[in-house]
Amino acid sequence: MSSVQVAVVTGSNKGIGLAVVRALCRQFPGDVYLTSRDPGRGQAAVAQLQQEGLRPLFHQLDIDDLQSIRALRDFLRDKYGGLDVLVNNAGIAFKVHDTTPFAVQAEVTLKTNFFGTRNVCTELLPLVKPYGRVVNVSSMVSSSALRGCSQELQQKFRSDTITEEELVQLMAKFVEDTKRGVHEKEGWPNTAYGVSKIGVTVLSRIQARLLNEQRKGDHILLNACCPGWVRTDMAGPKATKSPEEGAETPVYLALLPSSADAPHGQFVSDKTVKPW
Ligand code: NAP
């Protein structure tokens, strides 16, 4: 088994994820895995970074596919005995003018952004080694969507005692409420992407709390973050940040030094802890 440190970035064949891999290849003292659901797109991205003189490694990962997640988990356990850095970056968003029915957008968006990310965490967090760093890429949109929730929902999402099971039930309820056409009556904002990212931010708060309760001596730091508004296929060419600038906050959180005990369980934007 290798004693080399290892970092994994989900959804890193393009956009912010690719820029995070590029930065980690330069700064992380270990193996860096570029992952992609499509091996062809992943290998092309690896070749692009190799052209730049960098040496990323590749592993397939579709966060919608539990078998794919478990194959990566087994690979990391067998080859490295665990994992040092996990950046949960993979995500999707329907375009603003997409005419797909809202209930379908809700189901598809929550499937990847919340349930897929959660499945990766469920399978990989137990592998994270002492002093490991976990970064869940959320969005400022999670904050604005939170403010668009009913007072009752806001209270639940800000609670310091909400459990992962309760969060999962709420995310599933949002999807069901959109199917029945009652999501606004039930206190939800009119944004599937926003609700999915509420889920990512709240999940991060819960996971950090569990790490405090169950693995305090391991000094693992886990945070949610917003990369900013970044020029990628998702956000388009008018966004204000380059992918490299968008990668700065996730990379900062991924490389927090072993002497750091904060931030942990926070929502971080521009390397600054934001109120939730
Ligand atoms: P992007 O250019 O569209 O890249 C998204 C990446 O996620 C792609 O590599 C995509 O792979 C991958 N992905 C999607 N579904 C996946 C799945 N089921 N399994 C594995 N990989 C999957 O978007 P981006 O702007 O870089 O976004 C990266 C993250 O930042 C997302 O979580 C996004 O919500 C968040 N974010 C972005 C912005 C922004 O302004 N861009 C702002 C706030 C937050 P394929 O190539 O196969 O589709």
Distance 1 CA to ligand 1 centre (A): 32
Q: Which domains does the chain have, with CATH numbers?
A: 6-274 (3.40.50.720)
Q: Is the pLDDT of residue 266 over 90?
A: yes
Do 192 and 94 form a contact (C-beta atoms < 8 A)? yes
Task: Provide the 3-class DSSP secondary structure of residue 143.
Answer: helix
Q: Is 239 in the pocket of ligand 1 (CB under 6 A)?
A: yes
Do 28 and 7 form a contact (C-beta atoms < 8 A)? yes
pLDDT in the model for residue 240: 98
pLDDT in the model for residue 168: 99
Q: Is 25 in the pocket of ligand 1 (CB under 6 A)?
A: no
Q: How many CA atoms lie within 13 A of 152 on its CB side?
A: 5
pTM over 0.75, yes/no: yes
Distance 5 CA to ligand 1 centre (A): 25
Burial of 104 (0-12, 13-18, 19+ CB in 10 A): middle
pLDDT bracket for residue 243 (50, 70, 90): very high
Peptide bond into 257 cis (omega under 30): no
Distance 87 CA to ligand 1 centre (A): 12
> Measured in Å, how far apart are the chain's first and last C-alpha atoms?
41
Q: Is 91 in the pocket of ligand 1 (CB under 6 A)?
A: yes
Mean per-residue pLDDT, 24-31: 98
Closest CA to 56 of 81, 83, 28, 31: 31
Residue with the nearest Cα to atom 2 of ligand 1? 15
In residues, how long is the chain? 276
Q: How many CA atoms lie within 13 A of 67 on its CB side?
A: 0
Distance 262 CA to ligand 1 centre (A): 26
Mean per-residue pLDDT, 150-179: 98
CA angle 222, 114, 22 (to 5 degrees): 55
Q: Is the pLDDT of residue 228 over 90?
A: yes
Q: Is the pLDDT of residue 236 over 90?
A: yes
Give the nearest ligand 1 atom to 38 CA: 47
Q: Is 265 in the pocket of ligand 1 (CB under 6 A)?
A: no
Task: Provide the 3-class DSSP secondary structure of residue 101.
Answer: coil
Q: How many beta carbons lie within 10 A of that of residue 264, not counting itself? A: 21
Residues 6+ apart with CB under 8 A from 120: 10, 61, 63, 69, 86, 88
Q: Is 250 in the pocket of ligand 1 (CB under 6 A)?
A: no
pLDDT in the model for residue 265: 98
**Type of residue found at 7:** A
Residues known to be catalytic: 193
Q: Is the pLDDT of residue 1 over 90?
A: no
